[in-house]
Structure 1
Amino acid sequence: MASFLSRLSLRASLSRCRVPYGGASRASSRIWFSSDVKESSDPETKDEESTLKIDRSGLSQLQDHAPKISGRESMSAMSKHLDAIIRFRGGPIPVAEYMEEVLTNPTAGFYMNRDVFGAGGDFVTSPDISQMFGELIGVWSTCLWHQMGRPKEVALVELGPGRGTLMADLIRGTSKFQDFTSAISIHLVECSPTLRKIQEATLECVSCDDCPEKKRSTLSGSLVSWYMDLLEVPRGVPTIIIAHEFFDALPVHQFQKTPRGWCEKLIDVGESPSEPFRYVLSPRPTPASKLYLGKRLQWASEEEKACLEHVEVCPESFRYAGSISRRVSEDGGAALIIDYGDDKIITDSLQAIRKHKFTSVLDDPGSADLSAHVDFGAIRHAATEAAADGVTVYGPITQSKFLGMLGINFRLEALLNNASEEQAEALQLGYWRLVGEGPAPWVEGEEDESTQTGMGTQYKALAIVNSSLGVPIGFQ
């Protein structure tokens, strides 16, 4: 573990806290540009149907978009794709569209065709660090099921399940609670074909005898299904939703305050093959700045707005929070969101990581993970607006406090009783990285201090709960 940098630990060693994403699912809606903003009466699809136009007249940095550029032949497939989009449009694209293409483009997207997790990939996540993380999420889920009245059917949904490690540890950790495991069906929201295959292997899935197209996990006997979006997951039964490091990689729009008002940060083609892309500002406020930024600022206090110069807004987080809230309100259940971020407006946090090291967001797009800090305040407001009387939002609280309330200290003690010296060292370090803050005080002489840095306060936990259930465990 000490031989490579983790996504969790890199944040502590840099002044701009940057910790990359650990899930791979993404929303697939794109923002195409047209002359107006369309609206739908259906709250589930309203955001998906919005189309925006960016006024590119007056871009002082805008260059002539000739069809060919010297050196373009040496560009990567993703760089050529982005270059073609910008030239076809006749001008720059929003950061959100750039981010979405880089991560989930079907042919060249970062998550779509390879395993990016672990020591051999680009980062590690909490489930990779210690089995205790997934086990305690299982404790939370089982206790919630009891609060729900132990229903005979429960949809256990994970957004962005990565390799499936969290879900596998959850299932193993709850295996003694047979009533719970027999009640759950597993629903994974994942857009990457490669990661779906890895998840299938991690959960030890086999084809069902009565229907070979259906999969069943031999770890629990539960049916396992995959979807591109939460909206595709069947409704009608109580639902437990887990979103660990999912919201941090949803596309963000970036805005900057100027004498012309709040202008949008865009990405244009560069001036040379050595710098194929660059940032530019819109000449005036865009529809996105009025629609998305305006909505976010409505939720902020005057004191908070007074000192803002830069703002990041994630419209997809509004949509997912709303969908989760309506589902929980109408079908029963709750959602648990764990990610790095703050309970306030996020200013400028977009980051890229490649092979466990931070790099430029515009450098070789498609070869590095992109993520941004999560605006928990916006999630709370969006969830409450979507189902004001049907849900209650708890948190965010620190991951350290949340895992502590779930009994991570007792779980560590139990595991240490049967551990070898080497296993004990790994368990203690994993524990520290989940709940501690800063370098582990007992570790000396590490080649890279950041591999044993605790992230217990940087990560936050938030729950969206059906109002009839009361306070969930971990948030008392």
Structure 2
Amino acid sequence: MLRKLLPQSLVFHRRLSNAYVTSQLAAPSVASRLSSPFSTHSSSHNPDGPSIKQLDHVDDSQFPPTATTISIDRSGLYNPPEHSHEPALDSELVKHLKGIIKFRGGPISVAEYMEEVLTNPRAGFYINRDVFGAEGDFITSPEVSQMFGEMIGVWVMCLWEQMGQPQRVNLIELGPGRGTLVADLLRGASKFKKFIESLHVHLVECSPTLQKLQHQNLKCIDQDNAAESAERRTVSSLAGTPVSWHATLEQVPSGSPTIIIAHEFFDALPIHQFQKVSRGWCEKMVDVAEDSLFRFVLSSQPTPATLYLLKRFKWAANEEIAKLSQIEVCPKAMELTQTIAKRISSDGGGALIIDYGLNGVVSDSLQAIRKHKFVDILDNPGSADLSAYVDFASIRHSAEEASGDVSVHGPITQSQLIGSLGINFRVETLLQNCSDEQADSLKSGYWRLVGDGEAPFWEGPDDSVPIGMGTRYLAMAIVNKKQGVPVPFQ
């Protein structure tokens, strides 16, 4: 157990536990989407693709002729077998992707493929479904235990204290999923009146389906403003906090101190993959083969993303690049980080980024997860989550390059982050006020958040043993230099 608590966060936790001991305990959860060992090799083999099925013909000879002869054309009839193992026809997204490739007259980048698969307005993986939780495709830390959101709340309150307790703060979460993290944060901090009254929550979410879930889980109430010219106001009844939704970070109003949370957001940003061959570094592309299946090919000449590859090389040591045969770069992560850094520079505040990744160059990490299992990246696009390791070193360089008024801290492990923020103190307090079943759930959730490997205390079924992700996730903070070093990166 991590016992080292920072004095500042401990004060908050003692008050938090006294005010919030009766909060609802997290329900048991299945393994996190990252609770299994990662696949470090993106498969490029092609699954069996769609084929044209043979038509069944009916033999007319069994019907004897009568006075009136009727001729029936049965060539267009098709009676499929009861059990067919052949793949279905192309989905709307597959047709769309093939249309892009055909229109371009050549392959598309892995980044474009990834962006279409995840966020296509009509058929993207995140757009029209709830992909989180046991019934979804993966589970994130906020879904594992209420304690995760509470710990992030402690970090936000500590930074707010370091900022001088401003009267208005924009609390922004990028990709908030079901809204579970913010909901737990608001519940846990609801007794801290001055802090809660300063917040305006802004959720950056492009999925209409998830926006509705967030509205529901935050127990939002839509209010008509008394002023005729004013827009409708949405308030979370969890703490009386105003809530707004935006498609991009740029749409969030600026001018107020800002605190940004990006939990498992950067890993879904589209990446470009490059492979080293005899003629140099070539970008990996997605094309359509003669059998109508998607396949990976290499670009025949430099692509626009090569500029970002050269930029990443500039930030890396020569010996680090020399031993690589593949590399991933994420231009959108670089650009988003610069946007975050510039806003923090002008408005004050900070950002906390938590994700799985490396503090250095990422080689080959792109993976697809469907129903908690790894599948082929090119198999049935739009039916599986695509994600890649986050290059935290690239985030650091991007932030420092964007503004000299910000400082970057970390990465540290998730275990170090929430351990220092006081999760041990919190779980011990909750264990004093729960049933045996709730205690098992708390211990399981705690291990998943801070542990490493299989939980040593587990006495349940082998296929349900909690797998810790405390060292697989890393945390990095970007703050305005005026705030000093944030908790717990001192």
The TM-score range, normalised by the shorter chain, is 0.7 to 0.9
Q: Match for residue 266 of structure 1?
A: 285
Q: Does 1:8 align with 2:34?
A: yes
The separation in 1 between residues aligned to 2:450 and 2:88, in whole angstroms, is 48
State the SS of the aligned residue for 1:287: coil
Equivalent positions of 1:336-415 (< 5 A) are: 336-388=352-404, 390-415=405-430
Aligned residues: 420
Q: Structure 2 unaligned segments of length 5 or more: list them.
A: 1-26, 43-49, 54-86
Residues 243 and 336 in structure 1, CA contact (< 8 A), matched pair in contact too = yes
Q: Does 1:194 align with 2:218?
A: no
Q: Does 1:296 align with 2:283?
A: no
Q: Match for residue 169 of structure 2?
A: 154
State the Cα distance separating 1:435 from its structure 2 match.
0.5
Residues 260 and 285 in structure 1, CA contact (< 8 A), matched pair in contact too = no
Q: Give the residue type in structure 2 aligned to 1:252.
A: I
**For residues 15 and 354 of structure 1, do their structure 2 counterparts lie closer, same or farther at Cα, with a shift above 3 Å needed?**
closer
Residues 287 and 295 in structure 2, CA contact (< 8 A), matched pair in contact too = yes
Q: Does 1:455 align with 2:474?
A: no
Aligned Cα RMSD in Å?
1.8
Q: Give the residue type in structure 2 aligned to 1:240.
A: I
The separation in 2 between residues aligned to 1:270 and 1:103, in whole angstroms, is 22
Q: Give the residue type in structure 2 aligned to 1:349.
A: S
The separation in 1 between residues aligned to 2:351 and 2:478, in whole angstroms, is 5
Structure number, greater radius of gyration: 2
Q: Match for residue 238 of structure 1?
A: 257
Q: Match for residue 329 of structure 2?
A: 313
State the Cα distance separating 1:285 from its structure 2 match.
2.7
Query: Which of 342-351 and 205-214 deviates more?
Result: 205-214
The separation in 1 between residues aligned to 2:282 and 2:318, in whole angstroms, is 20
The separation in 1 between residues aligned to 2:113 and 2:257, in whole angstroms, is 36
Q: Match for residue 334 of structure 1?
A: 350
State the Cα distance separating 1:259 from its structure 2 match.
1.1
Q: Does 1:110 align with 2:125?
A: yes
Q: Give the residue type in structure 1 aligned to 2:100.
A: I
State the SS of the aligned residue for 2:143: helix
State the Cα distance separating 1:237 from its structure 2 match.
0.5
The separation in 2 between residues aligned to 1:410 and 1:270, in whole angstroms, is 57
Query: Which of 126-135 and 208-217 deviates more?
Result: 208-217
Query: Which of 458-467 and 210-219 deviates more?
Result: 210-219
Give the TM-score normalised by structure 1. Answer: 0.85
Deviations 1:162-189 (A, max 9, x none): 0000000000111111000000000000
**For residues 445 and 205 of structure 1, do their structure 2 counterparts lie closer, same or farther at Cα, with a shift above 3 Å needed?**
closer
State the Cα distance separating 1:220 from its structure 2 match.
1.4
Q: Match for residue 278 of structure 1?
A: 295
State the Cα distance separating 1:144 from its structure 2 match.
0.6
The separation in 1 between residues aligned to 2:162 and 2:30, in whole angstroms, is 41
The separation in 2 between residues aligned to 1:2 and 1:167, in whole angstroms, is 20
Residues 248 and 374 in structure 1, CA contact (< 8 A), matched pair in contact too = yes
Residues 9 and 455 in structure 1, CA contact (< 8 A), matched pair in contact too = yes
Residues 2 and 447 in structure 1, CA contact (< 8 A), matched pair in contact too = no
Residues 155 and 240 in structure 1, CA contact (< 8 A), matched pair in contact too = yes
The separation in 1 between residues aligned to 2:325 and 2:301, in whole angstroms, is 15
State the Cα distance separating 1:368 from its structure 2 match.
0.4
Deviations 1:233-257 (A, max 9, x none): 1000000000000000000000011
Equivalent positions of 1:35-114 (< 5 A) are: 74-114=89-129
Q: Does 1:135 align with 2:150?
A: yes
**For residues 445 and 136 of structure 1, do their structure 2 counterparts lie closer, same or farther at Cα, with a shift above 3 Å needed?**
closer
The separation in 2 between residues aligned to 1:243 and 1:266, in whole angstroms, is 28
**For residues 307 and 231 of structure 1, do their structure 2 counterparts lie closer, same or farther at Cα, with a shift above 3 Å needed?**
same
Deviations 1:435-471 (A, max 9, x none): 100000011452425x510011110000000001111
Q: Give the residue type in structure 2 aligned to 1:16.
A: T
Q: Structure 1 unaligned segments of length 5 or more: list them.
A: 19-67
The separation in 2 between residues aligned to 1:344 and 1:381, in whole angstroms, is 11
The separation in 2 between residues aligned to 1:9 and 1:17, in whole angstroms, is 17
State the Cα distance separating 1:288 from its structure 2 match.
1.5
The separation in 2 between residues aligned to 1:472 and 1:135, in whole angstroms, is 17
State the Cα distance separating 1:4 from its structure 2 match.
4.6
Residues 260 and 284 in structure 1, CA contact (< 8 A), matched pair in contact too = no
State the SS of the aligned residue for 1:107: coil
Residues 5 and 357 in structure 1, CA contact (< 8 A), matched pair in contact too = no
